[in-house]
């Protein structure tokens, strides 16, 4: 791995994680967040939320005060319901997401989104390892929303498992679901340091710690490199394409 901080923004490992990440177990599963980690959608998700609030619930400014970064879709929708005094029952959640995926699919081709710089190279290098890890998703997106986004950018097919925002509203619980699904897929109990979580927010780092996983934080916009480093991930970078994957996974 290149160690030039000015070029690739690599953070030194902090003491609380050093013993764990230097253990003998090799990474068997890599779990990716989506927005800000794999792709930058050009704001398609937020705009789809706005269009849904207006068209389905007659609340044209209903999402203005909501926080999106790192949160699950269900928790964002619940916040929208609370802010606009809408009953948070199952039918309203279903109504919201039915409209949301329509708008998401409609907006993505009309906005200037892209893959996060370096992510294609990182994924290619992971799959080229002599013992490549399973690639999975750990995302607050509902599953259909995740698929719509990643298919648009040609990134859906590589992923073999996932935990999604419609599995649970709490991101830490999603990490536990992703951990259990990884164990089931490999048919054995995994140690935390056999899993690498890759994300771009402080909540990604937090949920990774819940399952004692290694963490790679990508400073792609939502949080600065300094903010991410302060949360003590194992690595923090601006361009993941410069990383040496053998060090990430050994």
Banded model confidence at residue 70, pLDDT cuts 50, 70, 90:
confident
Is the predicted pLDDT of residue 16 greater than 90, yes or no?
no
User: Does residue 152 sit in the same domain as residue 242?
Assistant: yes
User: Does residue 209 sit in the same domain as residue 236?
Assistant: yes
User: Does residue 165 sit in the same domain as residue 231?
Assistant: yes
Is the predicted pLDDT of residue 49 greater than 70, yes or no?
yes
147-153 contact pairs (CB < 8 A, 24+): 148/101, 148/104, 148/105, 148/108, 149/34, 149/35, 149/39, 149/41, 149/44, 149/45, 149/104, 149/108, 150/34, 150/38, 150/39, 152/108, 152/109, 152/113, 153/38, 153/39, 153/113, 153/114, 153/115
The pLDDT of 31-35, averaged and rounded, is 97
User: Does residue 158 sit in the same domain as residue 101?
Assistant: no
User: Does residue 131 sit in the same domain as residue 228?
Assistant: yes
The pLDDT of 210-229, averaged and rounded, is 95
pLDDT tens string 85-144: 999 999 999 999 999 999 999 999 999 999 999 999 999 999 999 999 999 999 999 999
Task: Write down which residue in 110, 125, 156 finishes a domain.
Answer: 110
55-69, 107-121, 157-171 — which is least confidently predicted? 55-69
45-50 contact pairs (CB < 8 A, 24+): 45/104, 45/141, 45/145, 45/149, 47/103, 47/107, 47/111, 48/100, 48/101, 48/103, 48/104, 48/106, 48/107, 49/76, 49/80, 49/100
pLDDT tens string 224-247: 999 999 999 999 999 999 899 999
User: Does residue 128 sit in the same domain as residue 153?
Assistant: yes
User: Does residue 121 sit in the same domain as residue 200?
Assistant: yes
Mean pLDDT over all residues of the chain? Answer: 90
Task: Write down which residue in 110, 144, 159 finishes a domain.
Answer: 110
User: Does residue 193 sit in the same domain as residue 155?
Assistant: yes
Banded model confidence at residue 7, pLDDT cuts 50, 70, 90:
very low
User: Does residue 185 sit in the same domain as residue 88?
Assistant: no
Number of separate domains in the chain: 2
CATH number for the domain including 207?
Answer: 3.40.50.1000
Task: Write down which residue in 52, 79, 110 finishes a domain.
Answer: 110
What is the per-residue pLDDT for 69? 78
User: Does residue 142 sit in the same domain as residue 199?
Assistant: yes
User: Does residue 36 sit in the same domain as residue 93?
Assistant: no
The pLDDT of 47-53, averaged and rounded, is 96
What is the per-residue pLDDT for 250? 86
User: Does residue 120 sit in the same domain as residue 104?
Assistant: no
Range of the domain at 176: 5-41+113-249
């Amino acid at each position: 791995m290149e160690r030039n901080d000015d070029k690739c923004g690599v953070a030194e490992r902090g003491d609380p994680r050093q013993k764990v990440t230097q253990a003998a177990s090799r990474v068997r599963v890599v779990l990716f967040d989506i927005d800000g980690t794999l792709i930058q959608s050009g704001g398609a998700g937020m705009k789809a939320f706005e269009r849904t609030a207006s068209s389905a619930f007659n609340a044209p400014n209903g999402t203005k005060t909501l926080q999106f970064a790192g949160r699950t879709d269900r928790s964002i929708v619940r916040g929208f319901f609370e802010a606009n005094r809408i009953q948070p029952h199952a039918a309203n959640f279903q109504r919201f997401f039915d409209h949301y995926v329509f708008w998401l699919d409609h907006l993505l081709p009309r906005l200037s989104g892209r893959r996060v710089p370096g992510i294609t190279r990182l994924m290619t290098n992971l799959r080229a390892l002599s013992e490549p890890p399973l690639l999975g998703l750990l995302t607050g997106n509902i599953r259909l929303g995740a698929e719509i986004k990643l298919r648009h950018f040609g990134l859906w097919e590589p992923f073999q498992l996932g935990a999604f925002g419609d599995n649970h509203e709490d991101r830490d619980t999603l990490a536990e679901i992703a951990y259990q699904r990884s164990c089931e897929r490999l048919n054995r109990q995994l140690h935390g340091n056999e899993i690498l979580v890759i994300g771009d927010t402080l909540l990604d780092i937090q949920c990774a710690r819940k399952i004692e996983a290694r963490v790679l934080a990508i400073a792609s916009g939502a949080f600065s490199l300094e903010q991410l480093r302060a949360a003590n991930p194992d690595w923090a970078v601006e361009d993941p394409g410069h990383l040496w994957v053998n060090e990430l996974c050994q």
